[in-house]
Amino acid sequence: MIVTLKVPITGLGSRLKRLREKKGVTQQILAKQLKCTKSYISKVESEDLSADLSVKGLLSIVKSLGYFVPNSLKITSKEELIRFLDNLEKTHDQSREN
């Protein structure tokens, strides 16, 4: 269950960018999948947003990149979200090594 939680983008944008790049997806392609603008994706990744983002919104970006996000995932803080993103990246790197 993902609670409705807004988190500051600081520290998250660069992680999302690395995950996107590891999948070989451009900002343009991701924007098209999410039905938003490339400019918005750029602002998320550069952490240049004035408003906080919802965890649900951030995880929808992750899902659009093809990463698995379990329905039972419960994230209640920014720190938990950062750990989840870092674990995704680590898992992706380990699977590429094998």
3-36, pLDDT tens digit by residue? 456 666 678 888 999 999 999 999 999 999 999 9
Q: Count Cβ atoms below 10 Å from residue 91 Cβ, excluding itself.
A: 12
The structure's pTM equals: 0.81
At 98 the pLDDT is 65
6-92 carries CATH number 1.20.140.10: no
**DSSP 8-class letter at 51:** S
Is the predicted pLDDT of residue 49 greater than 80, yes or no? no
- Residue 92 host element (H or E): helix 78-97
Query: Under a CB-based contact definition with an 8 Å cutoff, are residues 85 and 62 in contact?
Result: yes
